[in-house]
Amino acid sequence: MTKLAIIVPCFNEEEILSQSIKTLSDLLKSLIKEKEISNDSILVFINDGSRDKTWEIIEKHHTKNPHIKGISLSRNFGHQEALLAGLYNTTADFYITIDADLQDDTSVIKEMIQNAKQGYDIVYGVRKKRDTDSFFKKHSALCFYKLMKLLGVELVSNHADFRLLTKKAVDTMSTFKERNLFLRAIVPLVGYKSTNVYYDRKKRELGTTKYPLKKMIIFALKGISSFSAVPLHLITLSGIIISILSLFLMIWAIIAYLNNSTIAGWTSLMSAITFFSGITILFMGIIGEYIASIFIEVKNRPLYIIDKTLE
């Protein structure tokens, strides 16, 4: 039988948590009854340094229901870190991560489990439409996915952190030791067989978003800077282009001088500016290339991941 762990990060979620715990434990109960998952399956709530009654609510439900487990972090570490704390400190066959506000549709959880049983190690929850988002959130998200694609980062569009991972996938993910966490870009690097399930995302019923605009921008920038060295390569490229252009500019300045169509000092000044700006950007690009290599080295990602072997 398959042991399922549903991992729920919680940061100041006192308004909605009791309701979410009830929905999830009812779901767990029915999945156990239908023999989809084993009786020792669990819900794991990670308290990410909440300053309200979140942890007290988790404790209260834990005493009443043995399926409910809790992990409390010493302070607020952030959503991604809370997810890892849950994944790496729980043993199960299948792991599903979902936000505490249950905006993601819990009714596709059964479909996720069935897919995993058919041999998929990663099942992504993908939003069908974005009509519950504001105009700004919808379009900024779409631009972000396009930009990431341009920067060579593989992402599943319209997928956040609602997904199923098998034990094999979680174990492999734990070999990625990086500290700038952007899980939705790490998971595709894990590889293995993956599939999507589609759902409609609801509006948050109670409480407010824990991802205000500022946090969202920081998160997006982290996603770019920890997965793409393309901006650094762009410096080298522009250095080369500007050096070539400045060479032509210099030739033109000298020709103008020889034609006597300049005032004194203009040619030497022009030549110095074009020469040194070309060289400066080119040299910055060279430094950038080394930084790009260091960037890849320090991540220390696995060089290969073996899926199956025949002996």
- CB contact at 8 A, 176 and 105: no
> In degrees rounded to 5, what are phi and psi of residue 184?
-65, -15
For residues 93 and 99, which CB has a smaller minimum distance to ligand UDP in the complex? 99
Among 47, 54, 103, 267, binds Mg ion (CB under 5 A): 103
> Is there binding between residue 101 and Mg ion (CB under 5 A)?
yes
Q: Does 104 bind Mg ion (CB under 5 A)?
A: no
Nearer to ligand UDP, 48 or 121 (CB): 48
Pairing type for strands 68-72 and 94-97 reads unpaired
Candidates 100, 148, 190, 235: give the one binding ligand UDP (CB under 6 A). 100
**CB 102 → ligand UDP: shortest distance, Å?**
9
Q: In terms of DSSP bridges, do strands 94-97 and 159-166 run parallel, antiparallel, or are they unpaired?
A: antiparallel
Q: Which is nearer to ligand UDP, 13 or 121 (CB)?
A: 13
Please identify, among the stretches 27-35, 96-104, 225-233, 242-250, the one whose residues bind ligand UDP according to the rule CB under 6 A: 96-104
Query: Which of residues 6, 10, 28, 84 is near ligand UDP by CB under 6 A?
Result: 10
Binding segment for Mg ion (CB under 5 A), chosen from 80-88, 91-99, 167-175, 219-227, is 91-99
Task: Decide whether 209 or 293 has the Cβ nearer to ligand UDP.
Answer: 209
Contacts of 68 (CB under 8 A, 6+ apart): 21, 25, 42, 43, 45, 58, 61, 62
Residue 99 touches Mg ion, criterion: CB under 5 A? yes
Task: Check residue 99 for interaction with ligand UDP (CB under 6 A).
Answer: yes
Which residues, numbered 54-83, are part of the site for ligand UDP (CB under 6 A)? Answer: 76, 78-79, 82
C-alpha distance from residue 300 to each of 89, 126, 155, 173 (Å): 22, 29, 20, 13
| 227 within 8 A of 182, measured Cβ to Cβ | yes
Does residue 12 bind Mg ion (CB under 5 A)? no
Q: Is 105 near ligand UDP (CB under 6 A)? A: no
Helix ranges (H only) for the chain are 14-33, 54-64, 79-88, 109-117, 135-150, 167-173, 183-190, 213-225, 230-258, 266-299
Task: Say whether residue 181 binds ligand UDP (CB under 6 A).
Answer: no
In whole angstroms, how close is the CB of 177 to ligand UDP at the nearest point? 21
Close Cβ partners of 98 (under 8 Å, ≥ 6 residues apart): 6, 7, 8, 24, 104, 106, 109, 162
User: Which residues between 28 and 57 bind ligand UDP (CB under 6 A)?
Assistant: 48
Among 41, 103, 194, 196, binds ligand UDP (CB under 6 A): 103
Total residues interacting with ligand UDP, rule: CB under 6 A: 16
Q: Work out which of 209, 280, 293, 300 binds ligand UDP, going by CB under 6 A.
A: 209
Kindly state the tokens that stand for 81. Answer: 């870190």
Site for ligand UDP contains 18 (CB under 6 A)? no
105 near Mg ion, judged by CB under 5 A: no
Contact between 188 and 110 (Cβ < 8 Å): no
Q: What whole-number distance in Å separates Cα of residue 153 and Cα of residue 145?
A: 9
Distance CA 22, CA 221 (A): 36
Of the candidate residues 9, 125, 223, 278, the single one contacting ligand UDP (CB under 6 A):
9
| Dist CA 91 CA 42 (whole Å) | 10
Q: How far is the CB of 224 from Mg ion (least distance, A)?
A: 22
Tokens at 225, concatenated: 């800077």
